[in-house]
Amino acid sequence: MTSTFHNEIKLGEVNYRLSATTDSDESLVLDLLGSLDSGEVIADGRLRLPVEGGATIGKLLSRVLGAHTRLRLRPSRHRNANQPWTESLDTELRTAWLTPTADPAPTLIRTIADDMERSPTAIRARLPRVGCDPDVPGRELSPAAAVLLGGKSGTTQGKT
* Predicted local confidence at residue 11, as pLDDT: 86
Calpha distance 158→150 (Å, rounded):
17
**Boundary of a domain, candidates 73, 104, 123:** 73
What's the mean per-residue pLDDT of the chain? 87
pTM greater than 0.75 (yes/no): no
pLDDT tens digits, one per residue of 75-98? 667 889 889 999 999 999 999 999
Between strands 41-50 and 3-11, the pairing is unpaired
Widest distance between CA atoms in the chain: 79
In whole angstroms, how large is the CA radius of gyration of the chain?
26
Q: Domain tally for the chain? A: 2
Pick from 129, 60, 53, 138: nearest CA to 103? 138
Which residue segment(s) compose the domain that 32 sits in? 3-73
* Predicted local confidence at residue 158, as pLDDT: 47
Q: Please say if the pLDDT value at position 102 is more than 90.
A: yes
Same-domain pairing of 69 and 93:
no
**Is residue 78 included in any domain, yes or no?**
no
Is the CB of residue 136 less than 8 Å from the CB of residue 105? yes
**Is residue 25 included in any domain, yes or no?**
yes
Q: What percent of the chain has pLDDT over 70?
A: 91
